[in-house]
Amino acid sequence: MRISLYPPALISWLAPTGANGSGKTVGANGSGKTSVLEAIYTLGHGRAFRSLQPGRVIRHEQEAFVLHGRLQGEERETSIGLTKDKQGDSKVRIDGTDGHKIAELAHLMPMQLITPEGFTLLNGGPKYRRAFLDWGCFHNEAGFFTAWSNLKRLLKQRNAALRQVSRYEQLRPWDKELIPLAEQISTWRAEYSSAIAQDMADTCQQFLPEFSLTFSFQRGWEKETDYADVLERSFERDRMLTYTAHGPHKADFRIRAAICRH
């Protein structure tokens, strides 16, 4: 991978790809090493990891930033570009054509960021672990992003409807679409969780042999229960709360540690 950014950072040496597939960024303090890492992350996510406000990552007296990269695949090279201004408006270019979406960049550049803030995966709320699972599902299942986007839309509409309806039958049009999406997304999450759990346990064993770690996926409603039954049974409570209390938006990826006694 090759990457360029404007305005440029002050990097004294950059090797994007090493002989073993790794890369190194070297430079003095304040030379812009983190800016390069942030540029790579932004090119793949459409946003920076240090700040959600575009103006914070655009150089002083500049109106926008421009990122450009070239990805070398097995068969061909792909050119990608991202421009974002202080208002947050983005333009994505892939192989010389405009009008693409951020999700297309994310599909081309799968990545995980490891920083000290990564401990939120352990000590943060379930939303951080859901995001971790969803990022993996996005790159493993072609239909995940569309299903996930539709699920968010339907949940928002259902929660708004809960403020207006008096009988569960009035919610059935939303639930008819919501239920299969919720079940499919939960299946994808469960499969991905199962696939990575053993690798995560093996890795933790290398670094923390004194602990035994277990991982479990909680889908967001009771085991062995149809989501349709849960939604209907919870209607009065949901109406009182004015939001949907059960579902994939409440899922979690539980991580438990126990001290090994030899």
Evaluate whether 67 touches 43 at the Cβ level (below 8 Å). Answer: yes
Token pair of 183 as six digits: 């079940």
- Quick check: helix, strand or coil at residue 254? strand
> CA-based angle 218:221:222, to the nearest 5?
90
Query: Is 159 marked within a binding site?
Result: no
Tokens 């709320």 identify what position? Answer: 125
> CA-based angle 218:224:229, to the nearest 5?
100
Query: Is 29 marked within a binding site?
Result: yes
Q: Which helix (H) or strand (E) holds 82?
A: strand 77-85
Token pair of 90 as six digits: 């983005």
Evaluate whether 80 touches 86 at the Cβ level (below 8 Å). Answer: no
Query: Is 27 marked within a binding site?
Result: yes
Q: Dihedral of CA 221/222/224/226: which sign?
A: negative
Residue type, 127: K
Q: Which residues are documented as binding site?
A: 27-34
Q: Which residues are documented as binding site for ATP?
A: 27-34
